[in-house]
Amino acid sequence: MTTSDRIVLITGTSSGIGLAAAVAAAGAGFHVVATMRDTGRSGALTAAAEAAGVADRVEVARLDVTDADSVAACLAEVVAWHGRLDAVVNNAGSGRVGTVEQDGLDPVRAVMEVNFFGVVDVTRAALPHLRASGGRVVTVTSVGGVVGQPFNEAYCAAKFAVEGFMESLAPVAATVGVAVTVVEPGAVASEFVASQGIDLPALLTAAGPYAPALDAYAARTRTAFDQAQTPAEAAGSIVTALTAERPPFRLQTSDRARAFVGVKLADPDGSAVQGMTAGWVA
């Protein structure tokens, strides 16, 4: 089967990595079902697909990963339209900067709904169709799904949960012919960061005893994003996961990301990670 016969559904494609992945996958020959919660925001994707000459291989569909009915309806429509599903790319996500003493539980629950339970539900709904096609589950996590980061407690908790879920699912899915890969970007220059609506002065004012640590963390983070990847660069790793003959389970999107998660993966007692991240808030 050629890639032009293969159907991939990608979540969260209105901007950033998801948009770039939809265009890149179409460029690699896939037919892409590019989903987003609000299809009124599809203009940037449509323009990018037209500019790349792949508009005929990109279709936009509505999917809210936090709504079980929306997930079921979208997957049913895709299979009804195309007769098959060959891959799912779980990309939709949301971030959160804060700390639990001041935030409480509601923001943690909200982030988990999108970043974890949404991924679980889309994957669950897709698996019968992926079993039939010998397909793939590709999930965009983060280096924050390997290394916990200050003031990203909710976000990292959700990404850690996704990594654990997928690492546990992978050998089970393999027994029925489905490959599972997690893609771990580091800093990416995209609308994801801007869309979080972070008002740093207001956060610092409200941070109380955590203000010095938050100020130090913000300064360090600005430096990290000065060296960020482009969404297109990160999307290249997603296409690799979709097209490699034997995709790895874990795939970082840059040398910096590989070096960063390597600290954790070679840190059995946790001291190396704690020593590294403590410096971000000192």
Name the residue range of residue 120's domain.
3-197+229-275
Question: If you average pLDDT over every residue of the chain, what do you get?
Answer: 91
Put the strands of the sheet holding 179-184 in their side by side order.
Answer: 58-62, 31-36, 7-10, 87-90, 136-140, 179-184, 250-252
Mean pLDDT of the 29-40 span: 97
Residue 202's pLDDT is 86
Asked, for residue 207, whether it belongs to a domain, the answer is no
Higher pLDDT residue, 202 or 83? 83
Asked, for residue 257, whether it belongs to a domain, the answer is yes
Asked if 263 and 276 touch (Cβ cutoff 8 Å), the reply is yes
Residue 191's pLDDT is 52
Asked, for residue 41, whether it belongs to a domain, the answer is yes
Asked, for residue 217, whether it belongs to a domain, the answer is no
Asked if 231 and 17 touch (Cβ cutoff 8 Å), the reply is yes
The domain spanning residue 100 has which CATH number?
3.40.50.720
Hunting for tokens 């640590």 — which residue is that?
A: 213
pLDDT digits (tens, 9 = 90+) for 129-182: 999 999 999 999 999 999 999 999 999 999 999 999 999 999 999 999 999 999
Residue 190's pLDDT is 60
Asked, for residue 61, whether it belongs to a domain, the answer is yes
Amino acid identity of residue 217, one-letter, is: Y
- Please tell me what DSSP assigns to residue 37: S
Nearest partner of 213 among 150, 170, 265, 145, judged by Cα: 150
- Contacts of 170 by beta carbon, 8 Å cutoff, 6+ apart: 179, 180, 249
Asked, for residue 68, whether it belongs to a domain, the answer is yes
Mean pLDDT of the 30-50 span: 97
pTM: 0.89
Give yes or no for residue 54 having a pLDDT over 50: yes
According to the 3-state scheme, what is the secondary structure of 120-166?
A: HHHHHHHHHHHHHHCCEEEEECCHHHCCCCCCEHHHHHHHHHHHHHH
What total of structural domains would you count in the chain? Answer: 1
Residue 155 among the catalytic residues: yes
Determine the Cα–Cα distance for residues 165 and 117; give it in Å rounded to an integer: 10
Residue 192's pLDDT is 43
Asked, for residue 205, whether it belongs to a domain, the answer is no
Mean pLDDT of the 49-67 span: 98
- Rounded to 5°, angle at Cα 141 from 139 and 144: 170
pLDDT digits (tens, 9 = 90+) for 98-124: 999 988 899 999 999 999 999 999 999
pLDDT digits (tens, 9 = 90+) for 255-278: 889 888 888 888 888 888 888 888
Asked, for residue 107, whether it belongs to a domain, the answer is yes
Torsion angle, CA of 44/48/53/54, rounded to 10 degrees? -70
Asked if 209 and 277 touch (Cβ cutoff 8 Å), the reply is no
> Of 116, 151, 155, 192, which residue is the catalytic one?
155
